[in-house]
Structure 1
Amino acid sequence: MTKLLLLLLSGAKLSKLLLSGGTMLLSVLLYAWVYGWRYAVGFVALMFVHEMGHFIAARQKGLDVGLPTFIPFVGAWVELKHMPHDAQTEAYIGLGGPLLGTVGATVCYLLARSWNLDWLLAVSYAGFFLNLFNLIPLSPFDGGRITAVLSPRIWFAGVPVLVGLFLYRPSPMLLLIALMA
């Protein structure tokens, strides 16, 4: 009976891994259809790095957190099983994604410049933009979680930033990245 229980529990963990990996693969396939496979793999990898920043930060604060789930052309997230008890923890977790994501985009940028790879340079720019966009001080973006430690009133500053982003010559790529945040 114990062996059956352990098998079921390991299957549950395997199913979570398959869900995360499956949604990641689906995202790569759909992005590749639009942008090519190299860009798709790089972009989804940077989204994964960003989400792992939240994952690591949540684990450091002792919170139970699930693996990233991806929805193509919408974004990705990690599910917190228990919400943070204070604004400081919320801000710490919110900052983890943009910090690690920016490190990942910087590595892509340096490799792209060293190896003269235009597609990797495009991936790095998209990664920088994705992390910067996520810092808009408006809920549910990471910036909204981070600024909540000061005051949720700061979210009102995020509205004109978001509106201005869409009104100032929005390109299709900009709109796509904005939807994925």
Structure 2
Amino acid sequence: MELLQLEHFGKILRLEGSLAGWQELYWGDSLVSQLSATENQNAKSSHHFELYNQVSQAVASDQPGGENAQQSIKCQLAIDLNWQPFAIEYQLMIDGSVVDQGSRNSKDIEQQVPIKKVQIKKKFSSVGLFSLAIKLFKSAKLFKVILAGASLAAYSWFFSWQFALSLLGCLVFHEYGHIRAMQYFSMKTKGIYLIPFFGGLAVSDDKINTRWQDVVISIMGPTFGLLMSIVSLLLYWSTDITFFAGLAVFNSLLNLFNLLPILPLDGGHILKSISFSINSKLGLVVCMSAAALGVLVSYSLGLALLGFLLLIGSVEIMMEWRGRHQSHLLPLDRYGQIFSTAWYLLTVAAFIAIIVYFADSPEQILALPMKILGS
């Protein structure tokens, strides 16, 4: 991932590194210094390099007496790096004189726009076609209306228009939680897309830079869903209208399903960010184990849709594993791992508590979610 970006002599000095320990320093597109994992065992490290003729004019314009600038200048970048919690202090010296120094933390990484884009070889596949379809959906606002209308018609056909409107309301409120989290991180959003029988999708044009962003954006959807269930429960207690009770319990079931720890569901993204922050091998084992458990559940219950989601999620897990050494995502620190886990478990527990509350209801429809969990 990119740890540092400094502009000097008309180009960007870019420091890349990973938890494994290696560091590479680029001036523009040229590699000027590198440290292997075995060479870089301590938090403090130093890169020594020289810049030659190509910077003489830039040096001449920046320094007095530039017409006599040296053809070769000696540079040193001193680094003090801690990963958990993330903090980096740097000092850039040219010919022994300090010309730039400062520090960065995880907030700076969140706002960072990576200079070097990870190149992914494009192959013709069903996954590629699916991605192309999503891009087409993102390119036209008309598709939002078409998809929303198709979702309303489909759910109304199988159930009722009242149920369809309630379901779409739950989906929109859930996805709005994702949108608000993206906006919190100053990410550009494309809006919410409702896809028949698949739920909803909150789309952004920007990429995340940290695992913490992935956790917050993923869990804010269920968190907004929890707020909706709590408000519906309060309205039920105040008015004794069964509709609000049904909204509370079925919205809880919907969001609880979304928190299953399998990709590409929100729970899977949370699990991936926590486990891969601890260790990439642990992340692979945990995520694949969750996928295997999901396959067993989908097979035993005959849930074809869940099986399809698991197929997409398995591809995402393998891509995450293959790109682990080139990942630009800042991992969660220990506090972030604990806080994310607690946030996830408390949200799950709250949804289960609402479902259990209506388990003994004389209204069979309100007790149905508990029967589904019990199966």
State whether TM-score is above 0.5. Answer: yes
* Number of corresponding residues: 161
Q: CA deviation at 1:159?
A: 2.7
Q: Does 1:100 align with 2:232?
A: no
SS at match of 1:45: helix
Query: Distance in 2 between the 1:159 and 1:93 partners?
Result: 21
**Is the contact between residue 42 and residue 120 of structure 1 (CA under 8 Å) also seen in structure 2?**
no
Aligned to 2:167: 43
Give the number of the structure whose residues are more often strand, by fraction. 2
Give the number of the structure whose residues are more often helix, by fraction. 1
Aligned to 2:261: 137
Aligned to 2:97: none
Aligned to 2:100: none
| Change in CA separation of 1:176 and 1:52 when aligned onto 2, cut-off 3 Å | farther
What per-residue deviation string (whole Å, max 9, x for no partner) do you get for residues 4-61 of structure 1? xxxxxxxxxxx62x53344223312221122111111111100000000000001101
What per-residue deviation string (whole Å, max 9, x for no partner) do you get for residues 127-172 of structure 1? 111211111222211112112232134323423553464466x49x
Query: Distance in 2 between the 1:176 and 1:124 partners?
Result: 26
**Is the contact between residue 298 and residue 304 of structure 2 (CA under 8 Å) also seen in structure 1?**
no
More displaced stretch, 159-168 vs 139-148? 159-168
Match of 2:245 among 117, 121, 131: 121
**1:17-166 map, 5 Å:** 18-151=142-275, 152-153=283-284, 154-159=286-291, 161-163=293-295, 165-166=297-298
Structure 2 unmatched ranges of 5 or more: 1-139, 276-282, 310-375
SS at match of 1:48: helix
Letter in 2 for 1:159: A
TM, length-normalised to structure 2: 0.38
Larger radius of gyration: 2
Query: Distance in 2 between the 1:110 and 1:164 partners?
Result: 37
What per-residue deviation string (whole Å, max 9, x for no partner) do you get for residues 72-125 of structure 1? 111110112122111111111001101001111222333345444444433332
Residue identity (%): 24
Q: CA deviation at 1:177?
A: 9.1
Letter in 2 for 1:106: I
Query: Distance in 2 between the 1:89 and 1:30 partners?
Result: 34
Structure 1 unmatched ranges of 5 or more: 1-14
SS at match of 2:200: strand
Superposition RMSD in Å = 2.8
Moved over 4 A (4+): 175-179
